[in-house]
């Protein structure tokens, strides 16, 4: 008679042995070396390590002895109840800001660029700047990402050559070296 390809209803494996194997000091030393842990400093510390290891092995043996037939294996350490799954699910409400256009298309290649968002601290700073600027005669500027026109005007009105000691037309004059005669350099004084 040919045996059935399915496993028998009775488990053929033996239950975990009830005889406790003792951990010898030599085995403890070997395990500590394998784990790159320091050796015990005294006999009392060695006895404490052996007792702790025996207790941990007893826990492992008890955990292995639990009947787990019919229990689905653990996929991850998280809340796998229906309420936990609903809480972790990503829906349209969670993505609404992205779906409503947190990005704008920029440039010839139409690359998407994420818009800057104002955080609460930035909004408070802008509000304080508006109050302080109103009294001092300064103009309050909103979000720095949305005032490109004003930034361009400020950049165009900036005098890049204003701090230069010497210019040649619309260029800086850079003097380097020790023996360069200052009379040979062309400078534009106007």
Residue 139 CA: distances (Å) to CA of 31, 142, 153, 169, 188: 72, 10, 14, 34, 36
Q: What is the pTM of this model?
A: 0.32
* pLDDT tens profile 87-102: 888 888 778 766 776 7
Q: Compute and round to an integer the Cα radius of gyration of the chain.
A: 38
DSSP letter (8 states) at residue 77 = S
Mean pLDDT of all residues in the chain?
75
DSSP bridge pairs for 111: 106
* pLDDT tens profile 31-85: 999 999 999 999 999 999 999 999 999 999 999 999 999 988 887 888 888 999 8
Name the strand (E) or helix (H) holding 104. strand 103-106
């Amino acid at each position: 008679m040919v045996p059935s390809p399915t496993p028998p209803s009775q488990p053929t494996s033996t239950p975990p042995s009830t005889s406790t194997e003792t951990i010898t000091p030599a085995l403890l030393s070997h395990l500590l070396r394998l784990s790159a842990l320091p050796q015990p400093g005294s006999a009392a510390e060695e006895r404490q390590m052996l007792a702790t290891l025996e207790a941990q092995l007893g826990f492992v043996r008890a955990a292995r002895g639990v009947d787990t037939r019919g229990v689905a294996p653990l996929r991850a350490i998280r809340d796998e109840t229906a309420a936990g799954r609903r809480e972790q699910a990503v829906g349209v409400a969670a993505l609404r800001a992205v779906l409503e256009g947190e990005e704008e298309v920029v440039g010839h290649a139409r690359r998407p660029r994420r818009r800057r968002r104002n955080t609460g601290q930035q909004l408070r700073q802008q509000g304080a700047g508006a109050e302080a600027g109103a009294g001092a005669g300064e103009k309050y500027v909103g979000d720095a990402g949305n005032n490109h026109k004003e930034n361009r005007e400020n950049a165009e009105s900036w005098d890049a050559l204003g701090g230069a000691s010497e210019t040649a037309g619309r260029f800086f004059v850079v003097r380097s070296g020790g023996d360069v005669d200052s009379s040979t350099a062309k400078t534009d004084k106007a």
